[in-house]
Structure formats: structure tokens, C-alpha cells
């Protein structure tokens, strides 16, 4: 059976464009047709400027005709999470606070995608200011899991993951502060990579928790993920935490079959669903059968990861979100006589409940009398977690765990219990705290719902993780799977 | 450890107005989260935090002025502006 255009991987699209079997215009027209048929049902995109998309596609086709294409991404659409700045497009972080904002500039990654000829394709829904694990905190709309429309897609990059698995776009950008790329990737049966902290510039990414945030690629195959990653990673002096060399170019290819894979002690025990545990164990068994060495590793401070994360992330968020004062951009309250009233009323009207909850928590852990007990202790715990991970990653090439303990839950199921929702990120958070690269790879189903496993490596070991994932992908049928919608 | 949670004080520091219902809800939810944080109080931790994160080669750019967005682009996204400047409610009271 011939594949529909929307089913093609970005790598296949790139090849067809190169051979002249497909034009970028025909591609985006097919995708926009699917957008009109399905976006209301899935709720992935919050905005799509169709005239702008067509103009970008025509420009790409013209370049190709003139023999001047800009690289393998030329003419291929990339969906953009709504916290990454694209000049002339809305930049709302799915918040009422930024609802009126049109970005006056491009993020570094957007400049890079433009330079690669990629088509900037729409704005993707997210949890407000990237705070959440279900995309239910969006002030704009709900997003549903294409594998089961009664369930959440994960979050905060839920729009990106849902758009990919619904066949609305072949590639997407997400951002990941505690699992916001990998958790929705796992729930939607796609690939999500959080790169090493510093590999990709954060210039133009709306800040949530600056020491944890990273932009990363989301895709339906490993090759597609690499295609996008290669375009995103380059030095940028505007982000002082970005590496000043292009480490992507220096990474060697890796022989996947000789890898040493660490499995944390007891990781498939408490709190992990039976089918998630079985799918993860099957992945471990697969690597063993391929000649990889499986080693049990001890990470005694793992239990500290979630509390440490929620102290550090909310502390940084309370500080970063202080900039939303109604003065320079975003929402300004109509009911204010004094500057203080303007700030307080604008923030109270603009922020949703989860954002307020995290600002209050972050304010508390930084406040006089409590900063030493919470924030400073969390920084010390973070050092310990990082040291334990780096020590473990000297003995093994990567760690393997489930990405999320349980599959996607039903919409509304955990709305009233923030603590339960925070535990969704128990396996993904340590990589952010330690600045390590981490990847979620589809590895099976729990009932009808996708499950992913999670690989974490030493700094700049993206190629090892991708090689291991490619070995798994080649032997299984989970790549580029789309549910029937 | 969560005894010190004074929601009115926090709301003032964070510049948020909270309704009585919100105050009740957030107090209860934050207390629950802070109880969960007690693992940090009990943990055996290193005496200091290692502030050097993964990026040890962090690049400082040369100290040269960049190209600003310009007054037109900035005032275009501002909630209120006048003559190329952002306007806000009166900051200084009348002398009367």
C-alpha cells in the first residue's frame, strides 16, 4: 500500500524532494489538509499561518529549482512549541499573560532552521509556561493523545508529541526542563531527545528554569531526530551556557553492539506499571541478546531527585517569571491606578493556577528564613545526584529505565493532585539536574497505549544514545507508527 | 518544616492577588508538597553545592554593543506607549 504523504518520515521526505518526486508545496498542502481534518480533534496546534507556510514552501521549491538548496531539511516543515520565538508569529507559552504577544525576533534555533531551509510550521500547544506533564495547564485549549482521545498526550511539549503521532507534521521542537520532551514522546509513541545542557542555545526560548531548560528535537524515527538535532546545535554567544564549539560535529559514530548498559537497582519495582516494566525488561533483554553488557548500577540518591527538582525549578521560575509585570509586553490589567496595582493585577489575571502555585512555592523556598533549608539544600542534593550519575556513567555507557512509570492517564484524572502529577517525571528529572543527554524511544504498548524506554548518557554522548536507539528501532516495528484517527 | 507557610506574605512577595478560596487551596497543596520535600532535610548531603555545572567552557561574548530591537519594535508589543516610549500609571504622587 502506498504511503500517504503525512505518513512519510522527514528522511523519506528529504529523499523524495531531492529526487523531484515531491515538491515542498505539495507536501505542506497535504499536511494542511490533514490539519483541517484533525487539529480540532487532537488540539495540537494553537496557530498556523497558512499563507506564510505556503510562501516558505514556494521559496524552498524555487531554491531547489535553481540548484541552491540549503541542506537536507530544506522544504521540510518543523512544528514549533509555543515558547520558542519566531519573528512575526505569536509567542504565548499557552498563557493568557502572553496572549497578545507577537515575537519581534527569532530564537537561535529558529535562525538555524531558517538557514537550513526548514519551514517554520505553526505554534504547538503546551502546558502554560511549560509547567505541567499533561498539557492540561494550557490556557488556550486541550490537547488529546492521538492513540486514545480520552487521554492526555503528556507535557509540557504535548502539542509537539501529539502533532507528530497524529501525522500533522514530520518534525517538531520541544523544550525539556524535567521531562517535557521525553514524557510526552513516551506517551505518544515517538522519539524525544533532551540534549546535553549547553549543546543547543536557549536564546529565544522563554525561560522557565534556566539551569534545567533545554530545547530538543522530537520525531518519529531516529534518523529524523538526528536530522533535526544536527540543524539545532551550534555555538551562540547570546547564551552564555551554550558550548562555544560545535560538539555535534566532533562526535564519533559508535558501535552499538559493544555498549555497556546500566540498569539502576530496583528500577522496575515500586510504582512502575506491569506492562511498562515488561516492555522495559524486553528492551534490556534485547540489548543483552545483541552482545551488550547489562550492569546493575546503584544510584542511592534517586529518591531525592523529585523534591530537589521542584525546589530548584520553582525557585528559578519565581525569579524568571518576575519579568511579567504588565509594563513592557504581555497582558496589562485594565483595573489599576498605581504601578504596584498594575503589576499585581496583571499577574493575577494573566497566570493560571499551576503557574501561580509554582511561583508561590518558588517564592517560599527562596524567602528569608527558608532559603537555607530548602533552596541551598536542594543545590547540595543536586550536586550529589550529579556526582552519582557521572560516577555511574564512568562504568557504563548509558543508563536504561522506563521513561514514565505508567502510560498516558485519562484527561482530568490528576488535575486536583499536583503531587501525583509531579511523580510522572521521576525517571526523567535526574538528567536535567545533572545536565545529561537523555532520549525516549518507543518500545511497545501497555494495552493500546505507547510505552517508551529512557536512555541517559554522559555529557555529549548523544551519538551513543542514538546508536543504541537505532539498533533497537531497526529490530522492532515501533518507528514512524501512526494511530488510526 | 512547612509550619512557616504564610500565604498572605508569599502572595505579597510574588505580587499575586489570591481569593480566599485560592489561599485555602494553595496553603493545603503547598503544605503537602513541602511535607514531601522533607526527604531533603533528612538526607546526608555534601557540605557545599558544586556550582560548576556541565558547561565548564561557558563562553563570554566580547563586550560590544549589539543591535537593539529599536523603539518601534519595542513599543509595538508594549501594552501602552506614547511618542515612542512605554507608558505606565503615574509613579510619583502629586505634591498636594
What's the pLDDT tens digit per position in A376-414? 999 999 999 999 999 999 999 999 999 999 999 999 998
Residue B81 resides in a domain: no
CATH of the domain at A173: 3.90.1300.10
Do A361 and B16 meet the contact criterion of CB atoms below 8 Å apart?
A: no
Q: Is residue A395 part of a domain?
A: no
Q: What part of B 54-73 touches A (C-beta under 8 Å)?
A: 54-55, 57-62, 69, 73
Can you tell me the distance from the alpha carbon of A484 to that of A478, in angstroms, rounded to the nearest whole number?
15
Query: Is B38 part of any domain?
Result: yes
Structural domains in chain A (count): 1
Q: How far apart are CA A285 and CA A280, in angstroms?
A: 9
Q: What is the mean pLDDT of residues A17-23?
A: 98
Q: Is the pLDDT of residue A471 over 50?
A: yes
Domain assignment present for residue A143? The answer is: yes
CB-based contact (8 Å) between B23 and chain A?
A: no
Answer yes or no: is B12 within a domain: yes
At A5, list the grid cell: 504523504
Q: What is the DSSP string of A150-179?
A: TB---SSSHHHHHHHHTTS-SEEEEEESSS
**For residues A108-114, average pLDDT:** 98
Residue A54 has pLDDT above 90, yes or no: yes
Give me the mean pLDDT over the B17-43 stretch.
94
Which candidate, A152, A76, A103, places its Cα nearest to that of A162? A152
Nearest residue in A to B93, CA atom: A338
pLDDT classification of A317: cutoffs 50, 70, 90: very high
Q: What percent of chain A has pLDDT over 70?
A: 98
Read off the pLDDT of each residue in A35-49 and give the average, rounded to a whole number. Answer: 98
* Site from B17, B41, B59, B72 to mutate, A interface, most A CB atoms within 10 angstroms: B59
Domain that holds residue B29: 2-42
Residues of A in contact with B34 (CB under 8 A): 364
Closest residue in B to A381 (Cα) is B45
A171-175, A247-251, A295-299, A344-348: segment of lowest average pLDDT? A247-251
CA A1 – CA A17 distance, rounded (Å): 20
pLDDT at A107: 98
Q: Is residue B67 part of a domain?
A: no
- A 323-362 near B (Cβ less than 8 A): 325-332, 336-345, 347-348, 351, 356-357, 359-361
Q: Which residues of A34-68 are buried (b: 16+ CB within 10 A; e: fewer)?
A: bbeebbeebbbbbebbeebbbebbeebbebbeeee
Residue A144 inside a domain? The answer is: yes
Domain annotation covers residue B96:
no
Whether A239 maps to a domain, the answer reads: yes
CA atoms of A241 and A44, how far apart (whole Å) = 31
Q: Which three cell numbers stand for residue A214?
A: 533545554
Q: Give the pLDDT of residue B3.
A: 57
Q: Do A348 and B16 touch (CB under 8 A)?
A: yes
> For residue A184, which of A214, A151, A160 has the smallest C-alpha distance?
A160
Number of domains in chain B: 1
Per DSSP, which regions of A52-202 are E strands? 77-81, 119-124, 171-176, 191-194
Q: Among partner residues B14, B37, B73, which is closest to A363 by beta-carbon distance?
A: B14
Q: What is the CATH number of the domain that holds B7?
A: 1.10.20
Domain that holds residue A246: 5-258
Question: Does residue B1 surpass a pLDDT of 50?
Answer: no
pLDDT in tens, A422-447: 888 999 999 999 999 999 999 999 99
Indicate the SS3 state at residue A276: helix
End-to-end Cα, chain A, rounded Å: 18
Which chain B residue has its CA at the smallest distance from A326's CA? B79
- Is some CB atom of chain A closer than 8 A to the CB atom of B78? yes
Asked if residue B88 belongs to a domain, the reply is: no
In this prediction, residues B27-44 reach a mean pLDDT of 93
Q: Note the pLDDT tens digit of each residue in A179-194.
A: 999 999 999 999 999 9
**Residues of A designated as active site:** 81, 156, 180
> In the predicted model, is pLDDT for residue A71 greater than 50?
yes
Amino acid at each position: 500500500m502506498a504511503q500517504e504523504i503525512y505518513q512519510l518520515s522527514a528522511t523519506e521526505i528529504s529523499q523524495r524532494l531531492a529526487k523531484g518526486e515531491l515538491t515542498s508545496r505539495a507536501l505542506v498542502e497535504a499536511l494542511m489538509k490533514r490539519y483541517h481534518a484533525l487539529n480540532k480533534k487532537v488540539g495540537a496546534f494553537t496557530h498556523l499561518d497558512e499563507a506564510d507556510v505556503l510562501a516558505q514552501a514556494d521559496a524552498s521549491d524555487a531554491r531547489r529549482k535553481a540548484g541552491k538548496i540549503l541542506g537536507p531539511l530544506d522544504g521540510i516543515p518543523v512544528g514549533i512549541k509555543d515558547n520558542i520565538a519566531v519573528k512575526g508569529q505569536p509567542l504565548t507559552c499557552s498563557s493568557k499573560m502572553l496572549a497578545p504577544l507577537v515575537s519581534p525576533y527569532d530564537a537561535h534555533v529558529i535562525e538555524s532552521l531558517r538557514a537550513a531551509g526548514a519551514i517554520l510550521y505553526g505554534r504547538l500547544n503546551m502546558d502554560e509556561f511549560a509547567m505541567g506533564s499533561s498539557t492540561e495547564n494550557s490556557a488556550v485549549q486541550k490537547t488529546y493523545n492521538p492513540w486514545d482521545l480520552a487521554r492526555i498526550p503528556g507535557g509540557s511539549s504535548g502539542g509537539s508529541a501529539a502533532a507528530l503521532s497524529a501525522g500533522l507534521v514530520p518534525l517538531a521542537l520541544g523544550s525539556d526542563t524535567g521531562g517535557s520532551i521525553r514524557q510526552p514522546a513516551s506517551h505518544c509513541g515517538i522519539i524525544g531527545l533532551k540534549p546535553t545542557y549547553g549543546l543547543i542555545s536557549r536564546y529565544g526560548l522563554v525561560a522557565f528554569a534556566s539551569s534545567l531548560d533545554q530545547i530538543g528535537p522530537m520525531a518519529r524515527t531516529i534518523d529524523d531526530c538526528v536530522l533535526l538535532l544536527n540543524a539545532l546545535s551550534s555555538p551562540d554567544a547570546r547564551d552564555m551556557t551554550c558550548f562555544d564549539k560545535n560538539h555535534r560535529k566532533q562526535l564519533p559514530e559508535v558501535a552499538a553492539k559493544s555498549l555497556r548498559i546500566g540498569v539502576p537497582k530496583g528500577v522496575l519495582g515500586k510504582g512502575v506499571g506491569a506492562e511498562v516494566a515488561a516492555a522495559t525488561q524486553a528492551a534490556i533483554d534485547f540489548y543483552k541478546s545483541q552482545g551488550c553488557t547489562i550492569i546493575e548500577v546503584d544510584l542511592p540518591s534517586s529518591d531525592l531527585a523529585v523534591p530537589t527538582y521542584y525546589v530548584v525549578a520553582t525557585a528559578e521560575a519565581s525569579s524568571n517569571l518576575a519579568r511579567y509585570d504588565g509594563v513592557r509586553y504581555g497582558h496589562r490589567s485594565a483595573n489599576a491606578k498605581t504601578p504596584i496595582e498594575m503589576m499585581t493585577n496583571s499577574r493575577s489575571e494573566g497566570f493560571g493556577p499551576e503557574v501561580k502555585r509554582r511561583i508561590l512555592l518558588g517564592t517560599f523556598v527562596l524567602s528569608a528564613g527558608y532559603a537555607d533549608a530548602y533552596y541551598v539544600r536542594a543545590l547540595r542534593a543536586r550536586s550529589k545526584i550529579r556526582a552519582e550519575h557521572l560516577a555511574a556513567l564512568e562504568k557504563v555507557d548509558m543508563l536504561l529505565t522506563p521513561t514514565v512509570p505508567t502510560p498516558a492517564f485519562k484527561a482530568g484524572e490528576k488535575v486536583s493532585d499536583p503531587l501525583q502529577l509531579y511523580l510522572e517525571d521521576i525517571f526523567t528529572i535526574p538528567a536535567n539536574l545533572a545536565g545529561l543527554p537523555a532520549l525516549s524511544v518507543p518500545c511497545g504498548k501497555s494495552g493500546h497505549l505507547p510505552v517508551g524506554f529512557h536512555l541517559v548518557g554522559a555529557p555529549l554522548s548523544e551519538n551513543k544514545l542514538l546508536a543504541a536507539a537505532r539498533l533497537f528501532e531497526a529490530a522492532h516495528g515501533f518507528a514512524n507508527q501512526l494511530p488510526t484517527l | 518544616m512547612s509550619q512557616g507557610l504564610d500565604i498572605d506574605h508569599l502572595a505579597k512577595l510574588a505580587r499575586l492577588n489570591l481569593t480566599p478560596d485560592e489561599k485555602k487551596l494553595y496553603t493545603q497543596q503547598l503544605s503537602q508538597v513541602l511535607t514531601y520535600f522533607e526527604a531533603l532535610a533528612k538526607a546526608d548531603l555534601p557540605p557545599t553545592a558544586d556550582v560548576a555545572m556541565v558547561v565548564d567552557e561557558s563562553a563570554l561574548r566580547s563586550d560590544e554593543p549589539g543591535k537593539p530591537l529599536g523603539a518601534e519594535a519595542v513599543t509595538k508589543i508594549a501594552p501602552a506607549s506614547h511618542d515612542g516610549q512605554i507608558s505606565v500609571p503615574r509613579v510619583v504622587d502629586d505634591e498636594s
